[in-house]
Chain A
Amino acid sequence: MVQEQSNLEQTEVVIKVKRYNQEKGEYWSEYKLSVDRFTQMTEVLRRVKTEQDPTIAYRASCHMAVCGSCAMKINGEPRLACKTLALDMVKKYGSNQITVEPMDFFKVEKDLIVDMDDFYARMFTVKPRLYPSEEVLKGNAESRLRPEDQKELWKFAQCIWCGLCVSSCPAVRIDSKFLGPAAHAKGYRFLADPRDTIYDERLKILGDSAWRCTYCYQCFNVCPRDVEPVTTIKKTRAQTRFLKDKTEVVKTGEKHVRAIYESIRDTGKLEEAKVYLTTYGLATAITDMLYTMRNGKMSFALIKEKKVSEIAQIQKLMGEKE
């Protein structure tokens, strides 16, 4: 057989794992092991479990960032363990010690395993499946999809239900009526599918919740699949103008955005918008408003790619697009 050899340079690291179980409560365990530049954190955990401490509990399956099992906090960052190379963490933090903790927000069951039931419940709330027409379902009608629609939808369909975005979303924590980023991404993937037949019902499920997001962009930052849940929330907000029974949250949200928008367009002054803008940054805020003001079916990408730096430019952009 081919000689197994690893001629890769080995580095010793210290892995500090936050442990928990019902019997012992919370405590930390430390493990030393040698890794090379390709060693994934899932492999670190597997080696700890098989070579040093079989009691450590964590989830992992695919080791290639598609199953969503291994979400946890590594050096405080919400990450997939398999998508994280141990030595990248060492380099980034300038320390050979790597800490591993369970995800925030969810209840810890044991060590790195958290209870995901609440997450799954949110996902199922948005009716995560296509409801095509009867004709299509029976196979009597062909359902073609334009390549560009496929591309757009696929981006949001790539959510692997890992829960990282929800674990780091501030709105979910304080607002029980907010569905959370992942559910919005999932919901939007079907809301925007031209073959779906329950648009109104979906909009009703998503509309109110969409106005409860704080636009902090945490979900955007942590998502390992680049799903951009916040983008789907923006796109959903842009469609709540089609909503039949608007809740107070939707009405206030839409009104607020319109007021700011008009103020900027008419006076060029940012006074009214100050809070909003300082919180979210100028470019982001303007982009968000434009999203909201427009029909969801217009070309978002165009707007998003424009770099907005000057107020004159903003007004021009608004004028052009209005």
Chain B
Amino acid sequence: MDKLLYDAVVLGGGLAGLMSAHEIASAGYRVAVISKVFPTRSHSSSAEGGIAAYVKGNSDPNDNPDYMTYDTVKGGDYLVDQDAAELLSQKSGEIVEIMERWGTLFNRQPDGRVALRYFGGQTYPRTRFVGDKTGMALLHTLFERVSGLSVDFFNEWFALDLVLDEKRVAGVLAMEMKSMEPSLFKAKAVVLATGGMGMLYAHTTNAYINTGDGYAMALRAGAALKDPEFVQFHPTALYPSDILISEAARGEGGILRNNKGERFMARYAPKKLDLAPRDIASRSIIIEIREGRGFPGNYVGLDLTHLGESYIKERLALAYEAAMNFAGVDATKEPIPVRPAQHYYMGGVDVDITGTNGDLQGLFAAGEAACVSVHGANRLGSNSLLETLVFGRETGRTVVEYLRTHNESTSTTLEGEAEKLLEQAYSFVKSESGIHFGEIQNKLRQVMWDDVGIFRNEDLLKSGLSEVEKMRTQVKEMYVTDKSKVYNTEFFNALELRNMMDLAVVISKAALVRTESRGAHFRTDYPERDDKNWLKHTIAYLKGNQVEIGYKPVTLTRWQPEARVY
């Protein structure tokens, strides 16, 4: 096995990973970015609606970072760590200005300053955008910027596992997908920026590559996930292909209508109406459909027609294009067919406000892979792009500090550890018969959607958990039919499925244990939020077949829990 030596390894070439790498490289350290796709193919490229930011001198005159923090805390149903949310708000303007200087082509106001729009749950409009391809614009800017620094990119390299030296992360085992050759990347610090896990669900707006690898790698290495039961569903995914119709569509004035033409959000969120946060809007849509007010095929309409053709085509180009290309609907003339789909993962590798994981020395995480936690039980739209950049940078800086103050691992057993991990991965290729990944994957996605989805209860969760546990055993008997030695994507899909299983079992268990409803976690058998017993973070470990659940207090600074009405 080849060995490569770095100061730090960043897993993930999305916004969070690139921003961390930028900081580490700028401080003069040797950093490798490993990504299973060419960085601009990362999921960050799909983000549409925008990035939230309070920019001094270019915001609503009544707005300030405190309102932004408050919106975030309330949006997250008080499971947000308020010190983290404060940091997010305070650094938001600076981050947007940096991206602007590096060349992101933000939409402009007539005077040339960056423009802004409303997003769900915002007291004042503060979302900055590039049409509705904000993620792509930011990701390209950042990738282009970082590719000009001395950062080594390992693109289309698949990370299998973290390599440990006692209680400390000392490297990463990864494989070049083209040659199928494994390498041990030795490093003092590893940043997990591997993004989300949408492929666990039958309906998702996420990229095909979002299989939760980072969460599973952390779990297998012995690190905890924080709040794993919190899965966000987006109310407006295009029917039937689940392509996201950005929240910007409602931000710009789009109206949800049922089959009677009613603006049904008036029933569920009388004040915020269609701009209610995602969990509320998602559940409202499902209720409408269940009660027979959806359209045949089970969807509702997102009406933009009153906005006018030119406005739609300019400000909501992607929504217009997606409806046209993928559903044959002209959004200037008729409502877009939409339904909820999995969208974002609030849970993640347990890190503090600096991006540091407390279980394993040398392990850091940022972006959707991490739970800092700024989103709590429910993320507000356009806060996630912001998080990737703000906390990507914070984490990069923490790593720089860590590199300054810590020595290299002197362990001589690392290679042996890496060999062992590789053997475990290869065990799939070796067997000559069994089931292949696809058979289990499709079933897993359906079980998670049906049983661990938008509406949960004890019966569903119990049966979901037992199904997932069964499948997890099956995965051990999985085999890979393809034996080719170049881009054996079946092999990597099998490893992804192993990761999905490790994560699925943790999500299901944590969801079963939390007997209350909060944000995106909605229990029909416990429909109320229960601050007395549950104003606390779930901390979950995976020990073999056991999920171990513990708790951590939520950091409250200035905002006491109040009823979450919109």
Contact = CB atoms under 8 A, between A and B. Distances in A.
Interface in B396-419: none
A146 B112 contact: yes
B421 interface: no
B208 A42 contact: yes
Interface stretch (A58-66, A227-235, A254-262): A58-66
Contacts of A23: 483-485
Contacts of B98: 139
B2 interface: no
B437 A50 contact: yes
A66, A113, A190: residue with the most chain B Cβ atoms closer than 10 Å: A66
A143 to B, nearest CB: 6
Interface string A283-313: 0000000000000000000000000000000
Contacts, number: 189
A279 B451 CA distance: 62
B101 A21 contact: no
A5 B296 CA distance: 9
B442 A69 contact: no
Interface residues of B, number: 81
Contacts of B244: 64
A69 B208 CA distance: 11
B105 to A, nearest CB: 5
Contact of B207 (A37, A57, A63): A63
Given A40-B326, A55-B482, A66 B107 contact: no
B243 A116 contact: no
Nearest to A110: B487
B112 A147 contact: yes
Contact of B108 (A5, A109, A116, A150): A150
A22, A65, A136: residue with the most chain B Cβ atoms closer than 10 Å: A65
A273 interface: no
Contacts of B131: 154
Contact of A157 (B140, B243, B318): B140
A85 B137 contact: no
Contact of B243 (A64, A68, A161): A64
> A interface, by DSSP: helix, strand, loop or mixed?
loop
Given A2-B290, A21-B486, A110-B487, A160 B136 contact: yes
B207 A7 contact: no
A129 B441 CA distance: 40
B178 A60 contact: no
A68 B136 CA distance: 11
Given A85-B326, A145-B108, A154-B105, A129 B144 contact: yes
Given A61-B208, A139-B97, A157 B41 contact: no
A55 B490 contact: yes
A244 interface: no
A109 B105 contact: no
A2 B298 contact: yes
A60 B208 contact: yes
A126 B45 CA distance: 22
Contact of B484 (A22, A37, A46, A154): A22
Given A5-B297, A85-B326, A132-B101, A64 B46 contact: yes
Interface in A18-52: 21-23, 36-38, 40, 42-43, 46, 49-51
Given A136-B101, A144-B113, A160-B40, A1 B455 contact: yes
A11 B140 CA distance: 39
A144 B112 contact: yes
B489 interface: yes
B562 interface: no
A37 B297 CA distance: 14
B442 A63 contact: no
Interface in B470-523: 480-490, 493
Given A66-B46, A67-B46, A157-B137, A130 B102 contact: yes
Given A110-B484, A136-B101, A144-B108, 20 more contacts: A1-B455, A4-B202, A23-B483, A54-B438, A54-B490, A61-B37, A61-B208, A64-B318, A66-B46, A66-B133, A67-B42, A69-B38, A85-B325, A111-B487, A130-B141, A144-B113, A146-B108, A150-B108, A154-B137, A193-B103
10 contacts: A1-B451, A49-B438, A54-B482, A61-B45, A64-B318, A64-B322, A66-B45, A67-B45, A69-B38, A69-B41
Interface of A: 1-8, 21-23, 36-38, 40, 42-43, 46, 49-51, 54-55, 57-69, 83, 85, 109-111, 113, 116, 120, 124, 127-130, 132, 136-137, 139, 143-147, 150, 153-154, 157-158, 160-161, 190, 193, 195
A-B interface, 8 closest residue pairs, ranked by CB to CB distance from nearest: A50-B438, A144-B112, A130-B103, A55-B482, A147-B108, A129-B144, A110-B487, A67-B41
